[in-house]
Amino acid sequence: DAKTTQPNSMESNEEEPVHLPCNHSTISGTDYIHWYRQLPSQGPEYVIHGLTSNVNNRMASLAIAEDRKSSTLILHRATLRDAAVYYCIRLLAPYEKLTFGTGTRLTIIP
């Protein structure tokens, strides 16, 4: 049980920002929020992770709600290569195993 909820699918236009939401209302204080994405026929690729504060890296930004019950992955300028299934995952400390939900299938429209 991944204990996160994401929309099944989303669409976005190329070169526009994309906001992918995730609900994790039962998250505990020590659980990290990780985002991975999976392109067709490939293993998942790490995108970003965070605990409480918003995080930025070269791929994306992660905005975490103050109560930590939800988060949003932000792709600032979507490209066709960003089309993938995006998984929001709670890393359950101390067990530290990634359990995947159904994810959000992101389609980028040229």
Given the rule CB under 8 A, which residues bind another protein?
Answer: 30, 32, 34, 36, 38, 41-46, 49-51, 87, 91, 93-94, 96-103
Closer to another protein by CB, 3 or 16: give it.
Answer: 3
Tell me the CA end-to-end span of the chain in Å, nearest whole number: 35
Whose structure tokens read 């039962």? 26
Query: How far apart (Å, rounded) are the C-alpha atoms in residues 45 and 24?
Result: 21
Q: Minimum Å distance from CB 21 to another protein?
A: 18
Six-digit token string for 90: 């709670």
Closer to another protein by CB, 78 or 85: give it.
Answer: 85
Closer to another protein by CB, 21 or 101: give it.
Answer: 101
Tally Cβ neighbours within 10 Å of residue 65: 12
